[in-house]
Amino acid sequence: MSKFIYTEEKEKEFQRIAKKYPKIDAMMLPALWLVQEQEGWVSPDAMIFVADKLNKTPIQVYEFATFYTMFNLKPIGTYHIELCKTLSCMLMGAPELKKFIKETIGIEPGQTSEDGRFHLSEVECQGACGGAPMIALNHTYHENLTVDKLKTIIEGCK
């Protein structure tokens, strides 16, 4: 029995999405995504919850959640910085942004700051190459970044 349950809002969303699927057990991706939207990460309890909901075993959910890199398997900071590391962003200054994050927040990709506020992930192309270099901050895109622009964004998070 899982201690995790969807909020009322997420349960409604789950039911709405489920109508689009011919079989409930094909809903692994959206079911886990709703968990992550709610909690910020996918806990073992949440995996058991999703398994029960989709008539799967917990290990099937675990295999799925660990395959996709967008699922956080540990709690992350309040502000999730996803720094694009693909070619356009790399050429246009992503390494400088990464260096700035390391120097000011003290974190490298995969790490959460000691105060729990920031988590940095390096991700593949997010489809905003025309605005390179870019980050997503809690899913909001910030494009055409410079170190100064990033500094302002980070200061706005404090």
Asked whether position 70 contacts ligand FES by CB under 6 A, the answer is no
Q: Which residues pair with 80 in a beta bridge?
A: 119
Region binding ligand FES by CB under 6 A among candidate stretches 22-30, 80-88, 106-114, 145-153 = 80-88
We find the least distance from the C-beta atom of residue 82 to ligand FES, in angstroms, to be 10
C-alpha–C-alpha distance, residues 36 and 58, integer Å: 17
Q: How many residues does the chain have?
A: 158
Region binding ligand FES by CB under 6 A among candidate stretches 13-21, 52-60, 81-89, 111-119 = 81-89
For residues 86 and 146, which CB has a smaller minimum distance to ligand FES in the complex? 86
C-alpha–C-alpha distance, residues 13 and 40, integer Å: 17
Asked whether position 150 contacts ligand FES by CB under 6 A, the answer is no
Residue from 132, 135, 145, 154 binding ligand FES (CB under 6 A): 132
* Burial call 6-18: b when 16+ CB within 10 Å, e when fewer: beeebeebbeeeb
We find the least distance from the C-beta atom of residue 146 to ligand FES, in angstroms, to be 15
Expressed in angstroms, the distance from the first to the final Cα of the chain is: 38
Which amino acid, residue 141?
A: Y
Q: Which of residues 86-125 bind ligand FES (CB under 6 A)?
A: 86-89, 125
Across the beta sheet with 79-84, the strand order is 118-123, 79-84, 135-137, 140-142
C-alpha–C-alpha distance, residues 107 and 121, integer Å: 10
For residues 61 and 84, which CB has a smaller minimum distance to ligand FES in the complex? 84
Residue from 32, 134, 136, 145 binding ligand FES (CB under 6 A): 134
Residue from 83, 126, 135, 150 binding ligand FES (CB under 6 A): 126
Q: Which residues of this chain interact with ligand FES, rule CB under 6 A?
A: 84, 86-89, 125-129, 132, 134
